[in-house]
Structure 1
């Protein structure tokens, strides 16, 4: 091998070794950094784990009125036609009153043979129902909406559900969370005192799903409230809507 070739091979080996050395140094630095980060969140020597509920209530600012148009007949097509005519009249009356079309939703649509004639080979009768959920943000106008619906051909006023708008529900939920945290703090204090510990602070906090309980008024309750005249548009009372939240809190603790 001549001197020029030997020199070239030596330089190539030096470059390759230098590259390997640099790679090994980068990997080591990365490992050190990972170990340092892992030490930033050490495990607690002592902890108290508490799950607590919190509830808050508010007056409703939204209502959903469920009404239905019904039809019966010897022919299923005739029943469907009657329901279609009722649908057109009801929607027209409600939108004219001021309800947005998007707030009038079909809740149920069904056409089937009547139970009374199902086992009678000599007679066939069909019955149909088209139920609607009508949502309004003015809870004081529930009676008017019922009046408009009945005057437009609704045969049933099935239920009224009083609830909260999204914005109001979020506000009430925040209050429920505050109440849940207060209950958790109280429970943790009792547990710590009973265990000879002292709480150093909240270490980890999480919430579970929110439960919202609307205020519902059934058909029977509306009839009872309306008196002998059967006017379901009067005497409809509202009630508070409740929001419940569950929190889980892990508290750091030390010997008292």
Structure 2
């Protein structure tokens, strides 16, 4: 009897080992098989396109860089001279042009020495420059040139580029997205037709915008020009700015 029990146990162990081996092979085959089938299915039954949406909008705000640079023998004198002119400019913006405090911000300030060099004396400090720059937000775009002329007359001698923008671009984001989706639909339909397939439902949509940004508000593509008009004043044309977005869209192919 003992030998019979031993034989039964041995057979059971062999059967169990065989079962595990077969099960393991089946499990391995089960993992690899669907994975390859899924990859083939993805390649055959979907199409991915990039849809782009763009709006050209008239800007409603201008950001003006207006500054003063003063040169003096000492740093303190240079700084005082700049401060006096900036104070005069700030008062002009607020009283004459009705610009609010929140729309006038200091964007740059520095005091630095001027150096001269000669073989005899080497490098020496000859006076100091002090610069103070304001960023002014202004919404009456028809008077930007006049404002710049007034600032120059009041002592501003460092006027940078005018940047036109849309103060609240969120109102136009949905329109840009709709245009991007329409563009994606056209591209995907053309690809499906060329492949003699039908276009199915949308599988995924990802908004990317070159760097994973949300809807991109492009810098003003404005015709920013400082020219002299018939009255001898500066003429600044706002032109238009662009709002763009980009969608990566995946569709089923039938």
Q: What is the TM-score normalised by the length of structure 2?
A: 0.72
Distance 1:201 1:182 in 2: 14
Total equivalences in the alignment: 204
CA distance, structure 1, for counterparts of residue 110 and residue 223 of structure 2: 24
> 2:219 maps to what in 1?
213
Superposition map of 1:47-66 within 5 A: 47-66=46-65
Task: Note if contact 1:91-1:101 (Cα within 8 Å) is conserved in structure 2.
Answer: no
**Contact 1:67–1:159 under 8 Å retained in 2:** no
Q: Give the alignment's TM-score, normalised by structure 1.
A: 0.71
CA contact (8 A) 2:114 2:125 kept: no
**CA distance in 1: counterparts of 2:186 and 2:159, whole angstroms:** 46
RMSD: 2.5
Q: Deviations over 1:39-97 (max 9, x none)?
A: xxxx9862211112221101111111111111001111111111111221111110112
Q: Is the 8 A contact 2:192 2:198 kept in 1?
A: yes
CA contact (8 A) 1:161 1:217 kept: no
Deviation of the 1:134 alpha carbon: 0.6
Structure 1 runs of 4+ off > 4 angstroms? 118-123
Q: How far apart are residue 127 of structure 1 and its match?
A: 1.2
In structure 2, do the counterparts of structure 1 residues 56 and 228 end up closer, same or farther at CA, with 3 Å as the change threshold? closer
Call closer, same or farther: CA 1:242–1:118 in 2, change over 3 Å. Answer: farther
1:78-227 → structure 2 map (5 Å cutoff): 78-96=77-95, 97-114=97-114, 117=116, 121=123, 124-166=126-168, 169-208=169-208, 209=213, 210-211=215-216, 212-216=218-222, 221-222=225-226, 225-226=227-228
**Residue aligning to 2:15:** none
Structure 2 vs 1, CA of residues 131 and 217 (structure 1 numbering), >3 Å: closer, same or farther? farther
**Unaligned runs of at least 5 residues, structure 2:** 1-38
Partner SS, residue 82 of structure 2? helix
Greater alpha carbon shift after TM alignment, 208-217 vs 137-146: 208-217
- Structure 1 residue aligned with 2:75: 76
Gaps of 5+ in 1: 1-42
